[in-house]
Structure 1
Amino acid sequence: MTTGRTDPAWASARLHVVTGKGGTGKTTVASALSLALASRPGHVLLSEVEGRQGISQTFDVPPLGTDETRIVRLPDGGEVVGLSVEPKAALLEYLHLFYKLGRAGRLLEKFGAIDFATTIAPGVRDVLLIGKIYEANRRRRDGRHKGDAAPVYDALVLDAPPTGRIGRFLSVNAEVADLARVGPIHSQAGAITRLLESDLTVVHLVTLLEEMPVQETLEAVDELHAKGLHPGAIVVNMVRDPLLDDMALDQARAGRLHKASIRAQLADAGLEATPALVDGLLEEARDHAQRIDLEREQLEMLEATGLPIVQLPALPGGVDSGSVRELADLLVPTFLPHVDEPAEIEDLEHLEEVEP
């Protein structure tokens, strides 16, 4: 279910950054979003930057490496390519692409300079991670990074760091550009910043209807606006329908559920309706009503942002490649409003390294 406005200004965005508090299912949502965008049909790059191999676990495929690897192929030509961005490999590639230091870069690695740069130097790690996504966005089908040729990828989805780090992660290149006033580092950092602050990039936030995730989401929305970045949709994950209708919830909240009716239903189910059991059920019903009240209150706070709200159901069987497809179907109306039905997934286990 979608509420709020669907902003056409980001309906054609190329880079979709997905963030959320840990435990909200942001990797699952990023994976489902990549499938939804591939059903256009489209050629989509799904990247992760935290080294957790969440994408491979979600799609039940072997661990991803630093090579772009096809993980999903759709019958109509759409596909999802997976990538795990690793700082050391990204720095070596950066040195080769922009400074032609292929052999010298390997010497730097031998003497430990690469490890130093990617683990010690402040901000370098995030610069490199984002830089790899920037390069993939620019890459053309003729192998170049500029020109009239069509881009390799129609869309890119980034499974990004959690909401507590997302503002710094996406703005680090602006800080680097300020520090390096001139030269190639300044130019590169400035170009990445322009991409992230442009209409081509939107940041989607994944949350649960709980106080802490919602509060982090609201703070992240304010921070993104303050940094000149563009929030996209808020995805409320793992939503469960109320077990009672509104009238029963009112009664449960006030402790007025009919005990005789509960005893009769327990008897019909073959259970002994002891006073302790009936009182325990009444207490659980009251807790459930209070939980629904809290969730509705949190949802109202999210709706007050004016951003589109997409609600995804809790998956009783857990997350696997089939359930990710179900979630992708639910994302289509918001992210691809002109697509009636996404293409069916033909093979989720076909992996194939693709040409960079």
Structure 2
Amino acid sequence: MPSGSMRGRCGGQDLSAPGTVEHVTGDDKPRETAVALWDRRLHIVTGKGGTGKTTIAGALAVALATGGRRVLLTEVEGRQQIAQLFDTPPLPYRERKVASAPGGGEVFALAIDADEALLEYLEMFYNLRRAGRALGRVGAVDFATTIAPGVRDVLLTGKVKEAVNRPDGTRPSGLAYDAVVLDAPPTGRIARFLNVSAEVVGLAKMGPIRAQAEAVMKVLAPERAAVHLVTLLEEMPVQETVDGIHELREVGLPVGAVVVNMVRTPLLAPAELELARRGQLDYEALATGVKEAGIDPTEELLANLAWEAAQHAERVALESAQRAQIAQLCRPVCEVPLVADGVDVGTVHRIAEILRAHRMSP
């Protein structure tokens, strides 16, 4: 697998300055934080469906765990994609080790369930876990989260917050996990999902729900969290990325890096790509190459090869246009090459090496 690339220069400003990452607030005024992207406590990974969001989240968790760190990888959509990615049985509602990282690191995983999170909440604040289970049997839990959908998201993000802040006096850091990675909902609803706590704070004037929401908002502060967006060099995923970053900035959430997944390497040199796109490939040279491969260069074969080359050149041109649009977002950009033979645990570790090498900075 070829190494990925990371770029991050925008408007003459080098985003690779160590220890600083530029953020844009709701009023479009940039400000710096003293904590680099790689060192955030909470990494939220989102992206349009089909972009490999879960794969990148898993690889990021392995990368962050490298060197003896302990990382928690979480999901909130009930799809058990983390278990599939690491080829393990479905995750229960408790943390379980799913991978080791170079240097003695460990990756634990948790599939967060809103109903179980509600039971924990009732036990924590009201000592009502048994009563909560009884309510669950009669459908009260579903009823409560249906009439107030935001409450479900507060419970999900609240569990993530708890993992980020959980103390552990036996570890040098004093915390249970050195970092938490959230495989989050798709780009189209990520801003609403993460910003629901701010909305709840505006509605709940006091009490445990408000306290929970305020605690979640503190974890989502720029110096503690970053939202990374996964995309492909295709029009719809890139447009969703553009819109997602705009929405995140509008509500003041910290935008991290853009990870461009499944990047294809051009098969022709730039000059040949231009000739192919114009339909001006040298047929004699093409026929010579076909003969050297031990194949009879029929007119039909040469025409088909020229057509495929033209299609490839057109795709490369479209990808270049999408890459330029991503560059205008003024975020660090990491490119991860396409894996032709499918994704497995080995692939996750190879992508982790790419992410680790660039540390979410150019």
TM-score greater than 0.5 by the shorter chain: yes
Q: Does the CA-based 8 Å contact 1:37-1:336 persist in structure 2?
A: no
Where 1:284 maps in the other structure, the secondary structure is helix
Instruction: Tell me the percent identity.
Output: 50
* Matching residue of 1:77: 104
Q: Does the CA-based 8 Å contact 2:71-2:106 persist in structure 1?
A: yes
Instruction: Go from structure 1 to structure 2 and tell me whether the alpha carbon gap of 1:334 and 1:265 turns closer, same or farther (over 3 Å shift).
Output: closer
Q: Deviations over 1:63-96 (max 9, x none)?
A: 1111100112346431000100111111101111
State the alpha-carbon separation in 2 of the partners of residues 195 and 168 from structure 1: 16
Task: Choose which of 130, 134, 137 in structure 2 pairs with 1:107.
Answer: 134
State the alpha-carbon separation in 2 of the partners of residues 149 and 210 from structure 1: 41
Give, as a single letter, the amino acid of the residue that structure 1 aligns with 2:117.
A
Task: Choose which of 268, 272, 275 in structure 1 pairs with 2:299.
Answer: 275
* Matching residue of 2:31: none
* Matching residue of 1:170: 194
Q: Does the CA-based 8 Å contact 1:70-1:81 persist in structure 2?
A: yes
Q: Does 1:254 align with 2:258?
A: no
For normalisation by structure 2, the TM-score amounts to 0.88
Task: Choose which of 203, 210, 214 in structure 2 pairs with 1:179.
Answer: 203
Deviation at 1:118, TM superposition (A): 3.2
Deviation at 1:120, TM superposition (A): 4.3
Structure 1 unpaired stretches of 5+: 338-356
State the alpha-carbon separation in 1 of the partners of residues 218 and 168 from structure 2: 23
**Which region of structure 1 is more displaced relative to structure 2, 116-125 or 173-182?**
116-125
Instruction: Go from structure 1 to structure 2 and tell me whether the alpha carbon gap of 1:283 and 1:11 turns closer, same or farther (over 3 Å shift).
Output: same
* Matching residue of 1:2: 6
Give, as a single letter, the amino acid of the residue that structure 2 aligns with 1:246.
P
* Matching residue of 1:351: none
Q: How many residues end up aligned between the 2 structures?
A: 333
For normalisation by structure 1, the TM-score amounts to 0.89
Give, as a single letter, the amino acid of the residue that structure 1 aligns with 2:47.
G
State the alpha-carbon separation in 1 of the partners of residues 166 and 247 from structure 2: 30
* Matching residue of 2:224: 200
Deviation at 1:102, TM superposition (A): 1.9
User: Following superposition of structure 1 onto structure 2, how do residues 114-153 of structure 1 map, counting pairs within 5 Å?
Assistant: 114-142=141-169, 150-153=174-177
Instruction: Go from structure 1 to structure 2 and tell me whether the alpha carbon gap of 1:243 and 1:119 turns closer, same or farther (over 3 Å shift).
Output: same
Deviation at 1:125, TM superposition (A): 1.7
Task: Choose which of 303, 310, 313 in structure 1 pairs with 2:334.
Answer: 310
Q: Does the CA-based 8 Å contact 2:42-2:180 persist in structure 1?
A: yes
Task: Choose which of 172, 178, 182 in structure 2 pairs with 1:154.
Answer: 178
RMSD (CA atoms): 1.7
Task: Choose which of 87, 90, 93 in structure 2 pairs with 1:60.
Answer: 87
* Matching residue of 1:345: none
Give, as a single letter, the amino acid of the residue that structure 1 aligns with 2:237.
P
Deviation at 1:168, TM superposition (A): 0.3
Give, as a single letter, the amino acid of the residue that structure 2 aligns with 1:326.
R
User: Following superposition of structure 1 onto structure 2, how do residues 281-320 of structure 1 map, counting pairs within 5 Å?
Assistant: 281-320=305-344
Where 2:286 maps in the other structure, the secondary structure is helix
* Matching residue of 1:223: 247
State the alpha-carbon separation in 1 of the partners of residues 6 and 341 from structure 2: 23
Give, as a single letter, the amino acid of the residue that structure 1 aligns with 2:227.
V
